Amino acid sequence: MPKTLKPLGIAAALSLIGTVAATSFTKNVHADNGCRMVHGRIQSTFTTTNCTSPVGLCTAGMITGAGPLNAATTFLALDVAPSAGLPAVEPSANLSYSGVLTINARNGTLVANDLGVLDAPDLSFTELERPAASSTGIFSGASHVFFISGAIVNNGTGFDGQISGELCFNDD
């Protein structure tokens, strides 16, 4: 006996088709609006040269393998919290921090508000980068977020991380 779709089955099928179509449309709109996935590598070291951080924490580095983000970088910490702000459950060596990551690319400067966590005992870190209004060139008006995660290297004097996420900007 042939099976027929019941009203609930039809509604589920239409919902699935609508979700797939909407997802495809959203991805196309993002591509048309200059949004793209970003991937690359960032390597940086602590520096005191020109460091105006109120907490004395700055880095200088380089991004590679990230297309328009390939450039020299600087990071300026604005504040840090020992125990990642959770003293009842995290070791004091772990830090949460907020600062400004500046990427001086060929076609503009991307300034990102950086929010991170450093896990000192495990020699690792992760950060959320949010484009700031002060970005210039192709990054003027940039939006969305990207992430940097990696390891503390060179006896605690630097970072080696991977960049991933989505960034929307005008690269015409």
pLDDT given for residue 23 in this prediction: 37
Helix, coil or strand: residue 99: strand
Length of the chain: 172
Ordered structural domains, the chain, with CATH: 36-168 (2.40.350.10)
Token digits of residue 27: 């991805």
pLDDT given for residue 101 in this prediction: 98
Backbone angles phi, psi at 24, to 5 degrees: -60, -45
Backbone angles phi, psi at 60, to 5 degrees: -135, 140
Span 128-162, pLDDT tens digits: 999 999 999 999 999 999 999 999 999 999 999 99
Contacts of 27 (CB under 8 A, 6+ apart): none
Span 94-129, pLDDT tens digits: 999 999 999 999 999 999 999 999 999 999 999 999
Q: Is the pLDDT of residue 7 over 60?
A: no
Q: What is the pTM of this model?
A: 0.80
Give the C-alpha separation, 38 to 163, whole Å.
7
